[in-house]
Structure 1
Amino acid sequence: MTPRTPAVARLHRARWAMTLLFAATTAACLLVLAVLAVRTDGRSRTDELDNGVSHRADGLARTMYYNGGVLHLDALSDDDLARSAEMLGVLHAPEHARPQIRYARDSRAALPDQAALDEIWQQVRHDQETVLISAEVDGREYQWAAAPVWDDDTIGAAVLVGADPARTLAAHTRLRNWLAAGCAALVLAAAAVGHLLSGRAMRPALRGLEQQEQFLAEAAHELRTPLATLRLVVEGGSTSPARAPHALDEAMRLIDRLGRLVTGLLARARLEAGTQDIELTPLRLDQLVEQTVEELPDHTGVTLTTDAAIVDGDPELLAQAVRNLVENALRHGGGTPVDVSVTPGRVAVRDHGPGVPAKDHTRVFERRVTGPTSTGTGTGLAIVRWVAELHGGTARLSPAPSGGTLAELLLPQHPAGASSRPSSTSHTPSE
């Protein structure tokens, strides 16, 4: 597993911070909505309970009447409001006397105690309208409504209707629990979605960092050999005055090569970043390969065979791909000769080394893969395939006849074909 760079680690930390921020914001919004919903539900249930007992008490009070100072309760026996009431009683109080239970549908024990009845009666006499009050029965609190029954101009009795709020409270508690569970689930879902979205948002940045790392590795791979060769040439010229002119010429050639390499690297970086499009021009592939091979410091072990071939391509990128193929063969061919051949639309490089296992023929073209035939940084052959695909072609490895490895760069041919140079040449590049 490739270790994370500090920049990548910072991006991952930023992703988790964005996820937490997204989840916290969602949690805060849901909390506000849940609190409002719980309070609204609590008020509505309380109002519904109060309205229910008040409606029954008012309706039953209108069915009762006084006649000659006698309270008639006949309507309570068959009234739907009386049957639907949870608890029902009638208070009656002669003038200047304490209220007494005149009627209890279930039992006297189902109604509030005398102290509570006194309080209810006093409030009804004071307000002269239906009143709401909470009173306990057997240690449980109930909601009561008391509606006055008029005897001419005075209140002679009161209808008392009660309801148990436990059922309403239980429903309210269930709603609160469901809201808590739902909000928790939504926060987790929001965190997951936030993590996914932040990951997608950071994907271009991570891809850019990866491309930067790849570019640095490829630049080091491309520049390491010519810089080392230039150092040897300069050291050789400085120690031997007789070799100084030749060393100077060789150094200038290597400097020119380094300039082309830097230009190619910059072009490739712009292409991969999407800030520049590749410009394909018709070029002689055979001449490009000849020049590239001749610039290699250890090209004496290379046998070159070329046919005239014209392709549409970028000369710097194609030269880089050819150079990587040949250097890979020289480095991993076990010191054996390397044969390079150019035919229309094809550059083939063959070494006579131990060969590459069949299972690695595709894998070695992946970036950062090291193996028997790949470079130490795992970039050389990856660059070859990238250049080939950029030109609409491909690169492949296969076993060579009689041993060794055959590496091929396949490119689409230019419509002009190879008519400009019918003959072929075979030679070993001179020093």
Structure 2
Amino acid sequence: MSAWLLRLRARVAALFRSRGGKAAAGPRRNPTTPGRLRRMRWLLTALFTALTAACLLVLATVAASIDSHSRDRELDDTVNRVVTGLARVVYWNEEGAVDLEALRDDDLAQGDSAVVVLSLEEDGKWHEKYGHLRSELPQDLSAAAARTALSDDTVISTMTNRSGDRIRVASAPAYDADYTVGAVVFAGADPAPSQRDHQRLVLALEFGGLGLIALAALIGHVLSGVSTRPAVRMLAEQERFLADASHELRTPLATLRLYLDAALRDPDDTRRAVTEARELTDRMGRLVTGLLARTRTETGVGELEVERLRLDQLVEGVVAESGVAGIEVRSEPTVVQADPDLLALAVRNLIDNALVHGGLPIEITVADYAVTVRDHGPGLDPELADPFEHGTKGPSGRYGIGLSLVQWVARAHSGSVAIGSAPDGGTLATLTLPAPPQL
């Protein structure tokens, strides 16, 4: 047993040296694994944001392309409708001259589109016979009229007007009595207003996309934080377990070393040293068991093994197991629903706390779903901070992890624990559990 204890002490001492060395070498840095989790969280955020940005970019590109093409088709359909409609109302009189009376009265010839009609005369040249919003179309349309006559169909193209602006122009042939092309009707529309609307749409898509990407980054960061939170909480609990265990085991291990050294120096003192060492190892075992149970439960790895039990019998068993004379138990039959191991650990810790800070005698009362442990020591300092906080300094020393575990056991069972000074001296600690559900 002594060799095992010495190895355990050596491991804990090595742990202290490694932690102390790191602290002495410079500012404390975050552990490697939590740091990796944080980097993973940022990586998940970046990945989620990048995927969202890529999807939005594709959707915005497709939307802008569809809008551009639809506006171009709408503009082409407009000028095509004008020239097709006006070409049908171009007539020729008996002398063979073009007659545009019906065209001038047509609403299409007086609309928002620029309209020009060229007639092919006997000299073989194209002469302008009608113009509406003439300045918006090119000055010379003869070559375009000749191409339209040769194509024998409606032609749509982009031209440059007198001001140097690009304009969309449609031209359609009009047939005379001999079924030959005797005139060409031109209609033009300025694409600038449609392009301005398209640019506003693109700008809206850009700013809207940036806003959605920022929102996606925020949502991704929150979601990645939620997804990594259990792992971070588990690691934090493991760190707390290591810190609490290393702190609480330091003094018992040092005491064990003293017991063993005393036994080695005086063989006659071996039995007493081994007995005290065994009691100390039992206490350390209970401490580690409690810390592990708390860590496993709070990280979701383990669950409470709740069952109906007699609270008075459990307390009497804990007192009998402790083997400490001077503990008086007054109890009445009390049934609760709890984890027997954790509840026994809480009762032991209350007794140990009373022994350390108050000494004997100790009075324990079990009634009304509560365990009350009273000692006759100096009591609590009125200005004392929370005694359930690990490391709180009291009149008879610092409070260890024991009371903190008692508080956790109480909360895990939806109960409560309170500690204060007794009316006529000493300390009174009460662990209260809820009434069990009726069968």
Distance in 1 (alpha carbons) for counterparts of 2:433 and 2:154: 97
Bigger RCO of structures 1 and 2 (CA < 8 A, at least 6 apart): 1
Cα displacement string for residues 228-281 of structure 1 (whole angstroms, at most 9, x for unaligned residues): 332221111111122123223333444444455555555554444343432544
Q: CA RMSD in A?
A: 3.2
Question: Relative to structure 2, which stretch is displaced further, 396-405 or 202-211?
Answer: 396-405
Residue 328 of structure 2: aligned partner: 305
Distance in 2 (alpha carbons) for counterparts of 1:346 and 1:174: 75
Conserved 8 A contact 2:169-2:188: yes
Give unpaired runs (5+ residues) of structure 1: 416-431
Choose the corresponding residue for 2:173, options 148, 156, 163: 148
Distance in 2 (alpha carbons) for counterparts of 1:288 and 1:275: 24
Question: Does residue 118 in structure 1 map to residue 139 in structure 2?
Answer: no
Residue 163 of structure 1: aligned partner: 189
Conserved 8 A contact 1:293-1:323: no
Residue 408 of structure 1: aligned partner: 430
In the TM superposition, what are the counterparts of 1:379-418 in structure 2 within 5 Å? 379-401=401-423, 405-411=427-433
In the TM superposition, what are the counterparts of 1:58-73 in structure 2 within 5 Å? 58-67=84-93, 68-73=95-100
Q: Secondary structure at the match of 2:381?
A: coil
The one-letter code matched in structure 1 to 2:165 is: R
Residue 94 of structure 1: aligned partner: 121
Give unpaired runs (5+ residues) of structure 2: 1-27
Conserved 8 A contact 1:124-1:146: yes
The one-letter code matched in structure 1 to 2:175 is: W
Distance in 2 (alpha carbons) for counterparts of 1:217 and 1:317: 21
Residue 372 of structure 1: aligned partner: 393
The one-letter code matched in structure 2 to 1:80 is: D
Residue 139 of structure 1: aligned partner: 164
Conserved 8 A contact 2:113-2:133: no
Count of residues in correspondence between the two structures? 396
In the TM superposition, what are the counterparts of 1:163-202 in structure 2 within 5 Å? 163-202=189-228
Choose the corresponding residue for 2:131, options 97, 100, 104: 104
Give the 3 Å change call, closer, same or farther, for CA 412–276 of structure 1 in structure 2: closer
Choose the corresponding residue for 2:37, options 11, 21, 27: 11
- Give the Å deviation of 1:413: 8.1
Q: Secondary structure at the match of 2:124?
A: coil
Distance in 1 (alpha carbons) for counterparts of 2:146 and 2:38: 71
Distance in 1 (alpha carbons) for counterparts of 2:333 and 2:256: 32
Give the 3 Å change call, closer, same or farther, for CA 379–226 of structure 1 in structure 2: closer
The one-letter code matched in structure 1 to 2:174 is: V
Distance in 2 (alpha carbons) for counterparts of 1:371 and 1:265: 18
Residue 20 of structure 2: aligned partner: none
Give the 3 Å change call, closer, same or farther, for CA 143–305 of structure 1 in structure 2: same
- Give the Å deviation of 1:400: 3.4
- Give the Å deviation of 1:157: 1.4
Question: Relative to structure 2, which stretch is displaced further, 279-288 or 6-15?
Answer: 279-288
Conserved 8 A contact 1:218-1:379: yes
Conserved 8 A contact 2:248-2:401: no
Give the 3 Å change call, closer, same or farther, for CA 65–376 of structure 1 in structure 2: farther
Distance in 1 (alpha carbons) for counterparts of 2:435 and 2:61: 72
Conserved 8 A contact 1:346-1:409: yes
Give the 3 Å change call, closer, same or farther, for CA 327–98 of structure 1 in structure 2: farther
Distance in 2 (alpha carbons) for counterparts of 1:354 and 1:263: 28
Distance in 2 (alpha carbons) for counterparts of 1:329 and 1:217: 24
- Give the Å deviation of 1:371: 3.1
Q: Secondary structure at the match of 1:161?
A: strand
Give the 3 Å change call, closer, same or farther, for CA 279–37 of structure 1 in structure 2: closer
Distance in 2 (alpha carbons) for counterparts of 1:34 and 1:349: 74
Residue 14 of structure 2: aligned partner: none
Distance in 2 (alpha carbons) for counterparts of 1:236 and 1:13: 52
Report the TM-score when normalising by structure 2.
0.79
Give the 3 Å change call, closer, same or farther, for CA 290–347 of structure 1 in structure 2: farther
Distance in 1 (alpha carbons) for counterparts of 2:233 and 2:55: 34
Residue 364 of structure 2: aligned partner: 342
The one-letter code matched in structure 2 to 1:236 is: A
Give the 3 Å change call, closer, same or farther, for CA 43–106 of structure 1 in structure 2: closer
Report the TM-score when normalising by structure 1.
0.81
Distance in 2 (alpha carbons) for counterparts of 1:225 and 1:293: 22
Choose the corresponding residue for 1:215, options 241, 265, 268: 241
Cα displacement string for residues 322-363 of structure 1 (whole angstroms, at most 9, x for unaligned residues): 4444555566x5xx65653211132324441561437x44xx
In the TM superposition, what are the counterparts of 1:286-365 in structure 2 within 5 Å? 286-289=316-319, 291-292=321-322, 294=324, 304-308=327-331, 316-328=341-353, 333=357, 337=359, 340-344=362-366, 345-350=370-375, 351-353=377-379, 355-357=381-383, 360-361=385-386, 364-365=387-388
Give the 3 Å change call, closer, same or farther, for CA 147–342 of structure 1 in structure 2: same
Conserved 8 A contact 2:116-2:130: yes
Give the 3 Å change call, closer, same or farther, for CA 405–43 of structure 1 in structure 2: same
- Give the Å deviation of 1:171: 1.0
Give the 3 Å change call, closer, same or farther, for CA 284–327 of structure 1 in structure 2: closer
